[in-house]
């Protein structure tokens, strides 16, 4: 190895997380012949969420960093909860995040016969038996953390009887729950996972991939390690809740000398405040219509974040910033918003949109006249060009940009006050009109013709700037204003029911007025509505005849970044 290679490896190891350091050490020892093969193994029983994004970035990122491979494998061992819709969404999410898997997508169900054959071998070794107890009886007999488990009355069945019964289970001769196959390990083990775990159960359900070929399905703990082995996975990376399962993972593989034995490594899962990560709870939100769908922009699902307008690059950056650790912690949601703002500021197209319009009449501007100004599409991108913005006697500004009786140090429009209109002129309020309830209906102003472009050469300083749209050319657009779905940092912690903490104001829909150039946008395009926030053209609903925008995040950043 050259000195340069030594230097590169030293730099790589210096920046590496603890999993990468393990891999670097394995490569140096030529373990697995220096190969690195990871996998992302989702269960197709729901949509992926931001926690899965962390795992995706980790597994695919390691494969990229070490010139290895990463498999996509669906752990489809439970036909009751699985659906092709979920499989399709998972594949789309991974691609959208910027990753590709090695070869074709793989399925646990493709290995059902091989798993069954190994289970038969386990029975022949006297290491598995058919149990007739009910699920409740098995649960009770397994004991607790302080009490040892009790042997099943069927634990000592003969190998011949177990083989016969297991074959009948496969052939569909028993009802759901009537019998299970259990590994014979140690009912007195301090690790409850080793107390004769169930490895097969009967389920007369049609499987999305194998149809009605099987009515006998492997349990996750039995299937997972075997799948890793069959695929030649070198480093099986999973979250901390599987740490206590690792002895079982190893025990299964150790019973078959011919099998490749991957190394299981655990890391801390992502916990995000104001968010839930349970697929069961997310499913309830969808099924009970608390949200519109799995990809509702308020959901922490990858597709929900995408629809809200969080760029894939921002999610990757977020996952990079939170790092990989061995200890649990909770990440501030504001960090995700920070990463979104950083990326959106770089790529978002600028437009002026007024969400709550009030009309301004510029009394000294010629009636029937229209002029045009150039506005940059993105000041962060010198190649983004400009667009033409029309201006006439009547415009709309935000209602909150005007006050009749403003406080001190108020720099927006008020009677007698002058402000700058972005890209256009200075205007001064001379009068206003209110309705019977005191609500401002119109504002009357004069403009300074010498301030074209938003500046003058007389040296006067105007501190306030407002965005606006031409009332004669502005077009109506639907804007969906999203807030966090939960009002509590840890939903359900106080009352025990996460539904109690749902934010009743998490969505409001307004009809706004936008400059005409907005209609040239494309579905999924990112926008900065000047002085308002970042928005995206809804990638599912936006068309030239249906201008729908979702609020991604406001302009104000509350997250303090350690630099």
* Residues carrying an active site annotation: 43, 269, 279
In terms of C-beta density within 10 A (0-12 exposed, 13-18 middle, 19 or more buried), how is residue 74 classed? Answer: buried
- What lies within 8 Å, CB to CB, of 164 at 6+ separation is none
Q: Residue 97, Cβ neighbours under 10 Å: how many?
A: 20
Of 89, 484, 501, residue with least CA distance to 306: 89
Cα 34 to Cα 13: distance, rounded to the nearest angstrom: 16
82 CB-side CA count, 13 A: 23
Count of H-run helices and E-run strands, the chain? 13, 25
Cα 309 to Cα 337: distance, rounded to the nearest angstrom: 11
- Pairing state between β 548-554 and 475-482: parallel
Q: Report helix, strand or coil for 526.
A: strand
Q: What is the largest distance, in Å, between two alpha-carbon atoms of the chain?
A: 102
Alpha helix ranges (H) inside 125-264: 135-141, 159-170, 220-230, 246-254
The secondary structure of 437-462, three-state, reads CCCEEEEEEEECHHHCCCCCCCCCCC
């Amino acid at each position: 190895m050259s000195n340069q290679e030594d230097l590169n490896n030293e730099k790589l190891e210096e920046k590496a997380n603890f999993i990468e350091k393990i891999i670097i050490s394995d490569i140096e020892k030529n373990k697995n012949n220096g190969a690195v093969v990871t996998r992302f193994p989702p269960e197709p029983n729901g949509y992926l969420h931001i926690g899965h994004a962390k795992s995706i970035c980790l597994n695919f990122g390691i494969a990229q960093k070490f010139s290895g491979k990463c498999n996509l494998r669906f752990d489809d061992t439970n036909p009751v909860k699985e659906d092709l819709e979920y499989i399709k969404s998972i594949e789309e999410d991974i691609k959208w995040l910027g990753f590709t898997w090695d070869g074709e997508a793989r399925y646990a169900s493709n290995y059902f016969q091989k798993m069954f054959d190994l289970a038969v071998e386990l029975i022949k070794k006297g290491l598995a038996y058919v149990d007739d107890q009910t699920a409740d009886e098995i649960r009770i007999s397994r004991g607790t953390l302080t009490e040892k488990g009790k042997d099943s009355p069927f634990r000592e069945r003969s190998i011949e009887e177990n083989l016969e019964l297991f074959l009948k289970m496969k052939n569909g001769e028993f009802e759901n729950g009537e019998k299970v196959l259990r590994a014979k390990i140690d009912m007195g083990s301090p690790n409850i996972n080793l107390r004769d775990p169930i490895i097969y159960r009967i389920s007369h359900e049609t499987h999305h991939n194998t149809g009605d070929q099987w009515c006998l399905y492997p349990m996750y703990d039995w299937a997972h390690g075997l799948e890793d082995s069959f695929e030649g996975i070198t480093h099986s990376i999973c979250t901390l809740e599987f740490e206590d399962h690792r002895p079982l993972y190893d025990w299964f593989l150790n019973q078959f000398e011919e099998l490749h034995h991957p190394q299981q490594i655990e890391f801390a899962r992502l916990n995000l405040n104001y968010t839930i990560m349970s697929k069961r709870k997310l499913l309830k939100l969808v099924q009970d219509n608390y949200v519109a769908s799995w990809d509702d922009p308020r959901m922490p699902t990858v597709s929900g974040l995408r629809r809200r307008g969080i760029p894939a690059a921002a999610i990757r950056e977020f996952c990079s910033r939170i790092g990989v650790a061995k200890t649990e912690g909770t990440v501030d949601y504001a960090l995700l918003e920070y990463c979104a703002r950083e990326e959106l500021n770089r790529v978002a197209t600028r437009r002026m949109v007024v969400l709550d319009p009030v009309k301004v009449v510029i009394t000294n501007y010629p009636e029937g006249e229209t002029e045009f100004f150039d506005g940059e599409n993105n000041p962060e991108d010198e190649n983004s060009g400009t667009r033409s913005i029309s201006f006439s006697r009547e415009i709309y500004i935000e209602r909150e940009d005007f006050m009749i009786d403003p406080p001190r140090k108020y720099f927006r429009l008020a009677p007698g006050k002058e402000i700058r209109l972005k890209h256009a002129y200075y205007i001064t309020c001379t009068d206003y009109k209110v309705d019977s309830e005191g609500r401002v209906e119109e504002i009357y102003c004069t403009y300074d013709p010498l301030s074209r472009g938003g500046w003058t050469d007389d040296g006067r300083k105007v501190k306030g700037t407002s965005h606006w749209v031409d009332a004669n050319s502005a077009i109506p657009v639907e804007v969906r204003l999203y807030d966090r779905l939960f009002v509590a940092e840890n939903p359900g912690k106080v009352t025990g029911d996460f539904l109690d903490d749902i934010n009743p104001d998490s969505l409001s829909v307004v009809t706004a007025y936008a400059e005409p150039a907005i209609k040239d946008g494309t579905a999924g395009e990112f926008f900065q509505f000047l002085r308002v926030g970042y928005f995206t053209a809804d990638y599912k609903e936006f068309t030239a005849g249906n201008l729908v925008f979702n609020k991604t995040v406001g302009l104000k950043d509350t997250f303090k970044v350690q630099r």
